[in-house]
């Protein structure tokens, strides 16, 4: 802990001491008791599971700007109203709109074989007749950057890096740079197109899509993802030492920007209604599956959690706000739109939480609160100990939707779930409702409901959170 | 055991007693020792794994009559010769030739969603504009047969039965009748088309293809398989009680019959060369994957096993013959062609074994030998006890390729492997080389090499096997 500067006025010091005293016994016993009631009630509540069945059955794929996206907004408004939330409304967001076409790829030499690719999000189309060229393998962007000039010119670059399967999701953070930069960096060097080994950890013949970086100054080139089995096959052919050629076709195009919306619903606070505990998830999904884990599970989790809080008596002091964000996957306009529209209100956002890692086992809770409030965060996390959750420190970052609120100082709580199975399904056609374990979904609802209730009832002030260290 | 009829001549009785005495110590110690050497050598031998990598990398999909089929025959001839087999040759077989086109399906009402179907083998094309009709669910063929007249007329029938996952593969036997008869029986009742829940046990968004029954007297209708997740989605929409409509397209067609071949190779016997121990697997595969488990693993298993026997000294008494059958999947012409061409020689086929259940853990061995030779079969199976294999009785049936030899009285040995993981992959795009566990492949090679060596060295005569009971 930093030592206090000499000029700290006595009144501030007094407040800090008061806060420390609070932290020792941060919650009245009645609040803790009620939190435990909510926690247990969630474990036998199937509102979330039923919502998720409804979303995946009646809406399904809902990529930004698509007809499914519009249906999802209508679905959310109807269901949030039916569940008794207040102030249910849509806040219009202009979203980018990429339209997936057909993607094909086949090895033409030395041994012809078909592959089952998918286009990466934002990939431009090939010429109508496709592209056929020699394949140049590269492990990572660093290897590409270090390659002799001309290595990839006129070629199809194949990025072979394999994502590691980890419980904390760190394998994704390491691997995803290739997806983001493959097309951009290869185009700078004159490549015709790229294929990448999917950023995913399963061995199914279902490739993983996802967003890419683009730059106005660089011509974009077609980019496909291959499943791990197809990437293995291509590597096995390359291992022969012979020239390997690929033919690929993609008919995806960018459409005009489209209208979508963040959908918002509230459980109004009883005593401090202007103070907001925000629960976020994203309503859009990639288009290959039905977005069951990504992020239908998040939509279901936070909605069911907020509903349980709304049923609690006495009602929570602060307002619990559900925000279903537009286009997390392919532009992030929902998150930015929320910050823009609610800028004046953000100082009264006392806590933000995001569910966007599927409905898998809850492993722990991380916070980002002022350091003197760490005991409060620890107490909150300790209520999830019966589910096996540990307190994981004060390095919470939020997800991509509430992270920007964190950057503005809003305290955060992250519920860490097992990321290993998530990245088997993430951004594939396999992300479907049958993969949802209702018990694990209830466990997630329980975690969010418990923590959000405590945040809404905390008698003190969470203040503004310390900015994370740059090294993080 | 049946009592002997009174008229049995003394000489026959004498022979039976002689055989029984043999059975007590069926193999010389040196043969058992050599069998154990082969068994252990197989466990560190990667000829099979390397063959399978080569087949899946350099040939890949090889459905009957396709260019891949012809490449597979050439591949097999070259590799069997390179491995030192004798009498390597192709025996021409005329095969049926169905050409997969594009298959699409989407739910159009009440909630539009795309599905990811595959055509069942032999499915005829839809009209160019596709078919759109109401969906009528049926669990099984029995439910269809019992439905009131007109129930499916002008509709798309959806067979919902789910295959059970079992270690002995019995779930397949129960479920597969739907695949065989769905189109035929629905067409008789005036349906426009059928979709079936895949005959498969995984939850991947990859449907399982497979063969169907046809009858000249019945108009064939298009037939698609849905993955379990897509079948769930369709059932979830049907559960709303609303009319559910499907649009489907298929462009598959039947081609003219094509030439393929059974590929044969031998380890010639040293003393009783005209007597044949036959090891069978099928060289063709379905076209969606690369036929790694079905039946590349069988090809690799029996080839590597026979090669190990060929290296044994002293050389085996009988000839060990590898038969890589043409078109097991979609017509069985390879199996019938072998019986036709080798009819005169079949009385000298002393044992037949087939590998066509993937490279999964060996669970046991079943025989079909004359009852008085059960002790011989038990002794043979006992050599696999270190791998955990049990003797599973005398009800062996062979697979679809060597089964017909069994019907002609050729004794059989079946190596039972764990069928549960097999039917997760079977007939899908997921049947690829990365799913092969080299250790399990070696275990299969070891089992086949050990048993085939013992069969080739058995000093007695296996005779002709009892016909299985009709109830089997």
Class of domain B98-254: alpha beta
Pairing assessment for the beta strands B318-325 and B258-267 based on DSSP bridges: antiparallel
- Using the predicted structure, report yes or no on whether residue B310 has a pLDDT greater than 70: yes
Report how far residue A85's alpha carbon sits from residue A356's, in angstroms, rounded to the nearest whole number: 22
Q: What are the backbone angles phi and psi of residue B93, rounded to the nearest 5°?
A: -135, 130
The alpha-carbon gap from A300 to the nearest alpha carbon of chain B, in Å, equals 18
Rounded to whole angstroms, how far apart are CA atoms A335 and A333? 5
The predicted complex's ipTM stands at 0.93
Coil, helix or strand for B237? helix
Contact residues, B window 438-457, toward A, CB-based 8 Å cutoff: none
B329: closest CA of chain A, how far (Å): 20
Pick the residue with more confidence: B294 or A471?
B294
Rounded average pLDDT over B5-11: 44
- Predicted pLDDT at B145: 98
Q: What is the secondary structure of B16-74 as a DSSP string?
A: HHHHHHHHHS-S-HHHHHHHHHHHHHHTT--HHHHHHHHHHHHT----TTSHHHHHHHH
| pLDDT for res A262 | 98
Mean pLDDT of B1-18: 44
Residues of chain A contacting B233 with CB distance shorter than 8 Å: 56-57, 60, 290, 432-433
* Token couple for B367: 């025989």
CA angle A136, A140, A146 (to 5 degrees): 75
Determine the pLDDT at residue B467.
Answer: 64
Q: Does residue A429 belong to the interface with chain B, where contact is any CB pair within 8 Å?
A: yes
Among the partner residues A205, A232, A435, nearest to B206 by beta-carbon distance:
A205
What's the half-sphere exposure (Cβ side, CA atoms, 13 Å) at A1?
8
Residue B423: name the closest of B197, B229, B201 by CA: B201
Confidence band for B72, pLDDT divided at 50, 70 and 90: very high
pLDDT tens sequence across B84-137 = 999 999 999 999 999 999 999 999 999 999 999 999 999 999 999 999 999 999
CA-to-CA distance for B270 and B1, rounded, in angstroms?
A: 36
Q: Which of B56, B53, B61 is nearest to B428 (CA)?
A: B61
What pLDDT does residue A468 have?
A: 56
What is the distance between the alpha carbons of residues B24 and A247, in angstroms, rounded to a whole number? 64
Mean pLDDT, range B36-55, rounded to an integer: 98
- The answer regarding whether domain A100-254 maps to CATH 3.10.180.10 reads no
| pLDDT bucket at B19, cuts 50 / 70 / 90 | low
Question: With a cut of 70, which residues of chain A have pLDDT below it?
Answer: 1-24, 466-472
Q: CB of B247 within 8 A of CB of B214? A: no
Nearest-10 Cα torsion for B341, B344, B349, B350 = 170
Q: Please name the member of B59, B232, B237 whose beta carbon is closest to the beta carbon of A434.
A: B232
- Residue in chain B closest to A239 (alpha carbons) equals B57
**What's the burial of A94, exposed, middle or buried (CB within 10 Å: 0-12/13-18/19+)?**
middle
B194-222 average pLDDT score: 96
Classify domain A23-91+257-457 by CATH number.
Answer: 3.40.630.10
**Cα distance between residue A328 and residue A64, in whole Å:** 9
Model confidence band, residue B4 (pLDDT cutoffs 50, 70, 90):
very low
Backbone angles phi, psi at A185, to 5 degrees: -70, -35
- Each residue of A217-226: b (16+ CB within 10 Å) or e? eeebbbbbbb
Q: What is the pLDDT of residue B24?
A: 59
pLDDT in tens, B400-454: 999 999 999 999 999 999 999 999 999 999 999 999 999 999 999 999 999 999 9
Q: Is residue B390 within 8 angstroms of chain A, CB to CB?
A: no
Is the separation of the CB atoms in A193 and A419 below 8 Å?
no
Please answer yes or no on whether A236 and B59 come within 8 Å at the CB atom.
no
With respect to CATH, is domain B24-97+257-457 assigned 3.90.1150.10?
Answer: no
pTM for this predicted structure: 0.93
Note whether B24-97+257-457 and B98-254 share their fold: no
Using the predicted structure, report yes or no on whether residue B472 has a pLDDT greater than 70: no
Asked whether the predicted pLDDT for residue B11 surpasses 80, the reply is no
Angle among Cα B201, B206, B210 to the nearest 5 degrees reads 70
Q: Which of A402, A410, A298, A409 is nearest to A355 (CA)?
A: A298
Is B22 a residue whose pLDDT tops 90? Answer: no
Where in chain A are the domains? 23-91+257-457, 100-254
Tell me what pLDDT residue B25 has.
82
How far apart CA B283 and CA B292 sit, in angstroms, is: 11
Residues in A touching B434 (Cβ below 8 Å): 203, 228-229, 232
CA distances to A133, A425, B185, B187, B345 from B215, rounded to whole Å, are: 46, 41, 10, 11, 33
For residue B132, the model assigns a pLDDT of 98
What DSSP string describes B254-304? E---EEEEEEEEEE--SSEEEEEEEEEEES---SSS--IIIIIHHHHHHHH
pLDDT of residue A313: 85
Of B61, B114, B432, the CB nearest to A205: B432
Nearest Cα to Cα of residue A412 among A395, A400, A428, A427:
A395
Name, in order, each residue with C-beta under 8 angstroms of B79's C-beta and a sequence gap of 6 or more.
B51, B54, B303
Give dist(CA A195, CA A193) in Å, integer: 7
Mean pLDDT across chain B, nearest whole number?
94
């Amino acid at each position: 802990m930093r030592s206090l500067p000499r000029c700290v006025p006595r009144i501030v010091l007094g407040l800090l001491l008061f806060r420390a005293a609070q932290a020792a016994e941060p919650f009245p016993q009645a609040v803790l008791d009620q939190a435990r009631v909510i926690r247990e009630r969630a474990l036998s509540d199937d509102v979330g599971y039923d919502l998720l069945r409804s979303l995946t059955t009646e809406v399904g794929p809902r990529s930004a700007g698509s007809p499914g996206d519009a249906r999802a907004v209508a679905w959310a408004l109807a269901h949030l109203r039916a569940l008794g939330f207040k102030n249910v409304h849509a806040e219009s967001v202009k979203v980018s709109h990429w339209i997936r076409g057909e993607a094909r790829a086949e090895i033409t030499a030395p041994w012809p074989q078909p592959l089952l690719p998918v286009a990466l999000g934002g990939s431009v189309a090939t010429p109508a007749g496709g592209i056929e060229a020699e394949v140049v393998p590269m492990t990572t962007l660093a290897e590409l950057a270090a390659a002799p000039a001309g290595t990839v010119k006129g070629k199809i670059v194949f990025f072979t890096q394999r994502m590691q399967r980890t419980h904390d999701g760190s394998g994704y953070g390491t691997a995803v740079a290739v997806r983001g930069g493959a097309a951009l960096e290869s185009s700078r060097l004159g490549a015709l197109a790229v294929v990448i080994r999917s950023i995913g950890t399963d061995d199914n013949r279902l490739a993983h899509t996802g967003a890419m970086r683009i730059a106005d100054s660089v011509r974009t080139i077609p980019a496909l993802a291959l499943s791990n089995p197809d990437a293995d096959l291509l590597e096995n052919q390359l291992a022969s030492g012979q020239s390997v050629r690929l033919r690929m076709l993609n008919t995806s195009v960018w459409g005009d920007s489209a209208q979508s919306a963040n959908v918002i619903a509230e459980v109004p606070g009883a005593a401090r209604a202007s103070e907001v505990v925000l629960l976020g998830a994203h309503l859009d999904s990639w288009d290959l599956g039905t977005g069951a884990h990504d992020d239908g599970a998040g939509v279901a989790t936070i909605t069911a959690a907020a509903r349980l809080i709304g049923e609690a008596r006495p009602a929570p002091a602060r307002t619990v706000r559900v925000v279903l964000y537009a286009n997390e996957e392919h532009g992030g306009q929902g998150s930015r739109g929320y910050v823009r529209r609610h800028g004046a209100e953000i100082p009264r956002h006392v806590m933000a939480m995001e569910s966007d890692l599927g409905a898998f086992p809850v492993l722990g809770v991380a916070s980002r609160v002022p350091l003197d409030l760490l005991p409060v965060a620890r107490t909150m996390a300790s209520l999830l100990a019966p589910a096996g959750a540990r307190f994981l420190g004060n390095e919470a970052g939020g997800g991509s939707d509430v992270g920007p609120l964190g950057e503005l100082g809003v305290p955060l709580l992250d519920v860490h779930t097992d990321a290993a199975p998530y990245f088997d399904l993430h951004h594939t056609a396999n992300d479907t409702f049958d993969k949802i374990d209702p018990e694990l979904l209830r466990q997630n609802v329980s975690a969010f409901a418990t923590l959000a209730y405590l945040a809404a009832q905390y008698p003190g002030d969470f203040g503004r959170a310390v900015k994370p260290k740059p090294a993080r």
